[in-house]
Structure 1
Amino acid sequence: MKKVIAIAVAAMVAFGFGTSAIAAEKNPYVSMFGGKQKVVYHLNYDNPKRQKGMLRNINNHIKAVGAKNLDLRVVMHGKGYTMLETANTDLELQNTIVSLKDKGIKFQLCANTIRGKKLDEKNLFGFDPANDKVPSGVAEIAHLQKKGFAYIRP
C-alpha cells in the first residue's frame, strides 16, 4: 500500500500537481483547482482622481493575484467615458491604460453612452469599437455577474 501511495505522489509531482499546490499555498488568491479569478470593475463617474484610484486598485489586484490568474474587465457607461477622453492629454494615464491592456485587462464602453453623448470614438484613447464596445454597460455588468464575475465599484 505504501508503495502505491509513493508511486501516486511521484506521478503527481512529475505531472505538475505538486507545483500547483505549492503555488496555491504561496498565493492564497489562486485556487489549486485552477481557473481564473473573474472580476468586473464598474466605472460611471467623471472624477479623474477617483478614476486613477480605480486604476491603482486594478494594478494592486494584478499584483495580488497575477495577471495570468485574472480575467478582469472595466465596464464604462455614463460619465465613465471621460477617463478615455482625459487620457488623450494625460501621458501618465495613457501609460497606465496601455500597461493594463498589455496585462490582459479589457476596457469596455457602453454603446448607449456613445450614442447618447454623441461621442466621437476617435477621441477616446485606445478605444477599438470592434472589441471594446458593448451594447449596454449595465446589461454587460449584469451578464458578467451571472457568469460568475465579482462586482467592484471603487
Structure 2
Amino acid sequence: MNYDLCLHIDSKEPAILKLVLMNAANYIKALPGERFQLVVVANGPSAVQFHKSNEEFRAIAAPLQEQGLRIAICANALANSNMTRDDIWPGCDVVPAGLVEIVRLQREGFAYIKP
C-alpha cells in the first residue's frame, strides 16, 4: 500500500501551519515501520511562515524533518514575499512552482490534503 502524502498550505495564518505540522506529526506516528514519503508544499502567502525568524514553528518542524518530512517552498511565493532561500528554515527545499510540485507529486501517487 502507498502511504505517500502531500500536505498543502497557502495561508499565512499561524493556526493553519500549526494544523499542517500536527497532521504531519500524527501521520508519522500512525505509521510505525511503514515506508512513506511526506511532503508539505507551501505556496502563496504561506511562504512567510517559513522565515528563519519563526522559531516557534521551526522548533515543531525540525524533529519532523529529522523523521523524513520534506518541506517544499514555492520560489514564486518567496519572490513575492521579498524572501530568498537564505531567509527560510534550514532543510527546506525551494521548488520553482508550488502548484506544479503538487501535480508532480500526485502523478507519482501521493495522496493530497489541503487543510
Counterpart selection for 1:133 from 74, 90, 94: 94
Paired residues, number = 115
Q: Partner residue of 2:104?
A: 143
User: Which 4+ stretches in 1 moved above 4 angstroms?
Assistant: none
Query: Greater RCO between the two (CA within 8 Å, min separation 6)?
Result: 2
Gapped regions of structure 1 (runs ≥ 5): 1-30
Q: Report how far residue 68 of structure 1 moved.
A: 4.9
Residues 67 and 49 of structure 1: CA distance in aligned 2, closer, same or farther (over 3 Å): farther
Please give the residue correspondences for 1:2-151 in structure 2 after superposition, counting only pairs within 5 Å: 31=1, 36-66=2-32, 68-85=34-51, 88-90=53-55, 92-126=56-90, 132-151=93-112
Residue type of the partner of 2:102?
I
Q: Which has the higher helix share?
A: 1
Q: Identity over aligned residues, as a percent?
A: 29
Q: Deviations over 1:74-124 (max 9, x none)?
A: 111101112212x5243x422211101100110001111122332133221
Which has the greater radius of gyration? 1
TM-score normalized by structure 2? 0.88
Q: RMSD value over aligned CA atoms?
A: 1.8
Moved more, 95-104 or 111-120: 111-120
